[in-house]
Amino acid sequence: MIKVFREFFSFCRKCVAVCWFACVVAFVSAVANSVLASSVVAKELPVWEAGVGAAGLSMSHYLGADESGRYGFAYPFFIYRSEYVQADREGLRGKLFQRENLRLNISLNASLPVNSEDNHTREGMDDLDPMLEIGPTLQYLFYQSSDKYHRWKLDFPIRAGLTFDGFDITHSGWTSNPSVVYSGGDSHWKQWVSVGPMFADRRYHEYYYDVEQEFVQVGREEYHAKSGYTGLKLSMSLRRKFNQLSIGGFVRYVDLHGAANEDSPLVKSKDYLAIGLAIHWRMAQSSDTVRVKSSF
């Protein structure tokens, strides 16, 4: 634990530089939206909405990969809102506790599978199964504009990584990404900017970076992963709503310089990039509504 905190503070200078960049982006967004903002404390929204969506993604195969994949797919979507649970385009969130500027949620993250035949660095190794990350996130809101359209908060998530191989589910370690998050917008536009370091335990890192003796070959020596710093993540996303239609996109970048496992033979690039675009068409919604507060 002491080693993890030491690595965290050693990268504070880099975090500050990226934070300044995030602040500039957020400030410009806030100025652009302040003209349209009006005072809203809460609004009535349908309890559920359903429709179809289509998405296109381009992303590196995994953190440290020098090869990427492009994906396109269509899917149904379902949005559910209640006092304690919400499932929408921002993910699944279960409100466990909230007091003033402090809130405890259950949150999710996920990664796509990688076929090792499609990645030269992992050729001959086991495939990477899809991973679901789930766990509590403590959020602290330290600034909110009077119109409640612009917010700054601190996120402190701790998530368990669960990999899925058919019907077999395996716990693959723990990860955390404490972040500074800006969110803003009005009834039509919404944007998010977040920045923060990523950390994980040895078990999580070994899933991506271990090389067992049986997979050793020329240029790929045996390697056993370490716990600690994973990388510095910067994410930006934007969404525009048009009545029944909404369009959203995101950019995610991770800097792996100085990561605990940057010397793994499976790390071929110190830069990770993911870009995505999605379109949603709402086809049905409930007649019942729920009062959703415009809190954080």
Rounded Cα gap, residues 205 and 229, in angstroms:
10
Residue keyed to tokens 């404490």: 178
CATH number at residue 104: 2.40.230
Q: What is the pLDDT of residue 8?
A: 47
Residue keyed to tokens 């990404």: 177
Domain enclosing residue 76, as ranges: 2-37+48-293
Q: What is the pLDDT of residue 85?
A: 59
Tokens, residue 201: 């335990």
> How many domains does the structure of the chain reveal?
1
Residue 43 covered by a domain: no
Longest dimension (CA), the chain: 63
Residue 222 covered by a domain: yes
Rounded Cα gap, residues 258 and 253, in angstroms:
15
- Using alpha carbons, select from 119, 6, 143, 5 the residue that is nearest to residue 69: 119
Residue 159 covered by a domain: yes
Q: What is the pLDDT of residue 105?
A: 85
Q: What is the pLDDT of residue 148?
A: 80
pTM (2 decimals)?
0.79
Residue 83 covered by a domain: yes
Residue 42 covered by a domain: no
Residue 25 covered by a domain: yes
Q: What is the pLDDT of residue 231?
A: 98
Residue 129 covered by a domain: yes
117 secondary structure, DSSP code: G
Residue 15 covered by a domain: yes
Rounded Cα gap, residues 78 and 36, in angstroms:
29
State how far the alpha carbon of 272 is from the alpha carbons of 16, 66, 143, in Å. 20, 8, 30
Mean pLDDT by 10 residues, the chain (296 residues): 47 42 40 36 79 96 96 90 60 60 88 94 96 94 89 96 94 97 88 97 98 95 97 97 93 98 97 97 90 62
